[in-house]
């Protein structure tokens, strides 16, 4: 096997393992369900896309599949759909640094999610809830040279994941308009923390990987934005 491919595979497996165990640390309960939680996974899952590109999205998918197999969840359509939010969050984090047609998804998918939400009978009455999902659209057009671009990128990723999750949620979990309204401050608080977590974990991982790369021959194994490495 090609050495560079093998090196990437090591990091791919590493991120799968990290995501899997982070998904075991509960942060807050999901409204409308029993025994389902946001986890530590929400604080750094999307950064896999920053280091592994499109493979980062696959690492997030593999980690969730691994969890499903180990826990023994059934492979229902709904359980499979619940993989999509964080996979798209990771892809968003990867694609936002690219140019060309691949970035169109950053605009289209959140807007489709808004359309799906307001097309639902309950969603139509609380349409303003879906305005959260304009954040990833705005973040995608922020110039990359801005000093605060990492925060836009991080909040874009977490709200992109929220957009996909919200569109799935409203069609799969019965909730009243009052419950959705009550979620507005909760979403603002949680996503504020998730966005900060994504940004700071990206800096931390970049710093560690920058050190590792200087000590080992793994330069081509990951995508590394050295400007985010501390002490560089």
Tens of pLDDT along 63-117? 888 888 887 778 888 888 888 999 999 999 988 877 666 677 788 999 999 999 9
- Nearest Cα neighbor of 194 from 17, 37, 26, 40 is 40
Read off the pLDDT band of 43 (50, 70, 90): confident
Q: Residue 141 and residue 137: Cα distance in Å, rounded?
A: 7
**Higher pLDDT, residue 182 or 104:** 182
- The reported pLDDT for the residue numbered 28 is 62
Which residues make Cβ contacts (< 8 Å) with residue 176, sequence separation at least 6?
A: 122
pTM equals 0.88
- The reported pLDDT for the residue numbered 30 is 61
Q: Which two tokens stand for residue 217?
A: 């021959």
Q: Residue 191 and residue 222: Cα distance in Å, rounded?
A: 27
**Higher pLDDT, residue 9 or 219:** 9
């Amino acid at each position: 096997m090609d050495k560079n491919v093998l090196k990437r595979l090591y990091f791919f497996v590493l991120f799968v393992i990290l995501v899997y165990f982070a998904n075991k640390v509960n942060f807050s309960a999901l409204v409308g369900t029993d025994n389902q939680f946001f986890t530590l996974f929400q604080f750094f899952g999307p950064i896999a896309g920053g280091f592994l590109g499109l493979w980062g999205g696959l690492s997030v998918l593999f980690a969730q599949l691994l969890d499903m197999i180990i826990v023994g969840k059934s492979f229902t359509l709904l359980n499979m759909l619940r993989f999509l939010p964080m996979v798209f969050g990771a892809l968003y984090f990867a694609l936002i640094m690219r140019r060309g047609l691949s970035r169109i998804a950053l605009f289209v998918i959140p807007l489709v999610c808004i359309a799906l939400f307001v097309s639902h009978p309950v969603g139509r009455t609380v349409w303003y809830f879906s305005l959260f999902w304009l954040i990833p659209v705005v973040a995608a057009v922020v110039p990359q040279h801005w000093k605060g671009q990492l925060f836009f990128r991080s909040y874009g990723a977490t709200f992109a994941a929220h957009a996909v999750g919200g569109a799935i949620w409203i069609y799969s979990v019965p909730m009243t308009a009052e419950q959705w309204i009550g979620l507005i401050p909760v979403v603002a608080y949680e996503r504020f923390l998730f966005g900060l977590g994504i940004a700071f974990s990206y800096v931390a991982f970049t710093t560690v990987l920058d050190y590792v790369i200087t000590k080992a021959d793994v330069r081509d194994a990951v995508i590394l934005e050295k400007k985010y490495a501390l002490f560089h």
